[in-house]
Structure 1
C-alpha cells in the first residue's frame, strides 16, 4: 500500500509541482499523514518522540520558520521556540511579535522528519506534526539562522527505522447545533450575558452553554455587538493597516494549533489568481499569510466587553462554518483598544439583508 501510494504521490507531484501536499492528499483521497507515512524510507523518517518533548527540545535550534494552516489559510512566522508553558489542558509559546502559538496537544499524534527538493532553495528539511485524524497540525522548517548542528542532532536523536502503521481516529461528526428558533427565543438572555463579559475568553463559555456556533450567536444579538460586512473586508483592512502603519494581530487555527502574528503590515496585500480561486498574500520579512479569498463566505465584525473596554475583531468563515482567520488591533492587556483599528473597521461596508 505504502509503496503504491508513494508512487502515486511522486506522479502527482511531477504533474503538479506547485500543488500543496494537502491538495495532493485530497486528489489521491487520503490523509496528509498517509502520504508522509508512505514516504518513510525514501525522503521521510518517523520520529519516535511525543510532541511536548520535541517542542521543548526545539528551544535549542534558534530561529526557524513555523507554519500553521487550515484548509483556506497558511500562516508562516519566523521565530524561536522560547517561553513555553504547558498545563494539563494545553500549552503556549508566548513570544509576541515573534513566535506566538496556542497548542492543544491532546489532539496531536504522529511526527515525521521530511526532506524535499526545491528548485530555488535546493534540499529542504522539516518536521511535520499531525493530529489524531491525520491532518497537518504544525510544521517547522530550518533556515540560515537555525543552529544546524542542533537541528541535525535533534533529528538523529529521535529518527527511527520503524514506521508503525497509522491508527487514525475518525473525523468527528458535526455536532447538532441548537435550533435557531430556540436561540432567537433566548436572544435577550444571550445578549445580556454577552454584555456582562469581562474577558474575551468568556465567549467560549457562552458558545458551550447554548451549544451554538459563533455565527449563530452573532445573528441573534444587536448590531453593536456583531454585524456582517462584505467579504472584501480582509483586503481592505490589511491595506488600511499598511497605509496607517498600526499594528494588527492575525490568528489562524486548525483546531490543534493557533498561530498568531502581531505587528505591522509591511507592504500592500498581493492578489494571486489561480485557475479556481483568488489568494490574498501578506509578505512581511518575518511573516507570510496566504489566504483563499474565494473561500470567504461570511465576514463579521464582533465587539466583546473586557475590563479594558470593548475589543473588536474581524472574523472570517467558510461555507462549512470553518473559521478561516480572526483579526484584532494590537492591544496590551490593561490598555484600551486602539482608536485607529476601530475607525478602520467602521469604514468597512456593511452587508445588507443578512438572514437570521
Structure 2
C-alpha cells in the first residue's frame, strides 16, 4: 500500500475506539498497516516509544521480577512466566537461559520498541514491553503480572524512552517466506555433510553452505535422516506428553526471537481453531489447521541423536519444533519411542 493511502494516526485511533475488543494484529490487518504502526498512532501517556536495544533493555527487564514472555509467528504463540535472568548479549545473537525464560534473540530484527499500558474492562491496567521488526511485526513481548515489581516500571520506561515520540512509524516491506530450496545434484553431498554433524546448531550452517534451506534439506535427505509425518502428529505428541508426564522441549519463533519451553505439560485443550497448552507458567496456542508439512529429523550430538518433530505451513514457514530432553536419558528414550510410533505421511511430498 502506498504511503498516501495509509490511514492517519487520528483515523487509526478512531477505528481502535470502534473496535475495542479486536486483537491488535487483526485490527492492523484490517487497516492495512502493521501492528507497530497501530501502536505508534497511540503514542502518548499509555504508549511510549522506547529503545529496542537488547543490551539496554534486557538488564532492566530483570528488575521487573516475575513476568510473562511471549513470542509468536503467524501460526503459533508461546508464553512462559519467569524472570529475565542470565542475559548474555552479542552483536549477532543473544540469549537468556534459565529454568523458565529461555530465549535466543537476534538483534538485527529488534527495530522498534514500545512500552504499553492498556486499560482493561475491569479498571485494571496491563503493562507490557513490545518489540517489533523493520516491517512492524511483533518479535517479542513482555507482560507484567500481579507478582511483578510494578514499582520499577516508571523509572525503567524513562530510562528507555526515545528522544522523539512521533505518532507515525515508517516500516519496511515484509520479507517473503523462503520456499523449500532443493537441488537434486547436491543430495549425496547433503547426506555426507549431515553425517559429520556433532551438534544441532551445525545444521543450519551446513544447509546454508550448500545454498539450501531447512525444508529443502528435509525434502531431499530421505531416510535415515528424515521421515515425513502426518500433520496431526503434533496434536498426538502434545496429548501424549500431557497424559504421560513426558518432558519435552518446544521451540517457537520468528526471525528475531526463538522462545523455548523445557519440561512436562499438563493441560491440552482445543478451543476453536487453536490447540492450546494451558499450564500455570506455560501456554502454547497453535493454529494446528495451518500445519501443512511435518518432518521427523535426526541429528547427531555428543549426547546421542537429537530427534525432532518440526511443523511447517503451506508457504514453507517453520511453525514449531519439538524435541526430547537429551539431558534426561530416560526421558530421551521415551521421546524417541513416541516419535517412532507416530503416523507416517502416506502421500508424496511435492519437490
Whether the TM-score (by the shorter chain) exceeds 0.5 is: yes
Q: Given that residues 118 and 126 in structure 2 are in contact (C-alpha distance below 8 angstroms), is that contact kept between their aligned partners in structure 1? A: yes
- The yes-or-no answer on 1:140 pairing with 2:154 is no
Deviates more, 1:33-42 or 1:166-175: 166-175
Q: CA deviation at 1:49?
A: 6.1
Aligned to 1:70: 73
Tell me how far apart the structure 2 counterparts of residues 106 and 228 of structure 1 sit (CA, whole Å). Answer: 33
Q: CA deviation at 1:37?
A: 0.2
Report the CA distance shift for 1:133/1:324 in structure 2 as closer, same or farther (over 3 A).
Answer: same
Aligned to 2:228: 228
Aligned to 1:321: 316
Deviates more, 1:136-145 or 1:216-225: 216-225
TM-superposition CA deviations, 1:6-37 (whole Å, max 9, x none): 112222x23xx2x4211211121101100000
Secondary structure, aligned partner of 1:353: coil
Deviates more, 1:318-327 or 1:164-173: 164-173
Structure 2 residue corresponding to 1:7, chosen from 4, 11, 14: 14
Tell me how far apart the structure 2 counterparts of residues 350 and 174 of structure 1 sit (CA, whole Å). Answer: 26
Aligned pairs for 1:179-258 (under 5 A) are 180=182, 183-258=183-258
Tell me how far apart the structure 2 counterparts of residues 3 and 251 of structure 1 sit (CA, whole Å). Answer: 39
Q: CA deviation at 1:301?
A: 0.7
Q: Point out 4+ residue stretches in structure 1 off by more than 6 angstroms.
A: none
Tell me how far apart the structure 2 counterparts of residues 70 and 290 of structure 1 sit (CA, whole Å). Answer: 11
TM-superposition CA deviations, 1:264-296 (whole Å, max 9, x none): 1122x21111xxxx2100011101000101111
Aligned to 2:347: 353
Tell me how far apart the structure 2 counterparts of residues 121 and 240 of structure 1 sit (CA, whole Å). Answer: 40
Secondary structure, aligned partner of 2:200: coil
Secondary structure, aligned partner of 1:128: strand
- When normalised by structure 2's length, the TM-score is 0.91
Aligned to 2:89: 86
Give the CA RMSD over aligned residues.
Answer: 2.0
Tell me how far apart the structure 1 counterparts of residues 179 and 101 of structure 2 sit (CA, whole Å). Answer: 36
Secondary structure, aligned partner of 2:199: coil
Unaligned runs of 5+ in 2: 1-7
Greater strand proportion: 1
Secondary structure, aligned partner of 2:343: coil
Aligned pairs for 1:1-356 (under 5 A) are 1-11=8-18, 13-14=19-20, 17=21, 19-41=22-44, 43-48=46-51, 50-96=53-99, 98-119=100-121, 122-159=124-161, 162-164=164-166, 165-173=168-176, 178=181, 180=182, 183-267=183-267, 269-273=268-272, 278-332=273-327, 338-355=332-349, 356=351
Tell me how far apart the structure 1 counterparts of residues 297 and 179 of structure 2 sit (CA, whole Å). Answer: 24
Tell me how far apart the structure 1 counterparts of residues 306 and 178 of structure 2 sit (CA, whole Å). Answer: 28
Q: Given that residues 177 and 211 in structure 1 are in contact (C-alpha distance below 8 angstroms), is that contact kept between their aligned partners in structure 2? A: no
TM-superposition CA deviations, 1:35-76 (whole Å, max 9, x none): 000011263122256332011111111110111111111111
Tell me how far apart the structure 2 counterparts of residues 132 and 207 of structure 1 sit (CA, whole Å). Answer: 26
TM-superposition CA deviations, 1:73-104 (whole Å, max 9, x none): 111110111101112222000113x0000010
- When normalised by structure 1's length, the TM-score is 0.90
Q: Given that residues 179 and 316 in structure 2 are in contact (C-alpha distance below 8 angstroms), is that contact kept between their aligned partners in structure 1? A: no
Secondary structure, aligned partner of 1:139: strand
Report the CA distance shift for 1:169/1:222 in structure 2 as closer, same or farther (over 3 A).
Answer: same
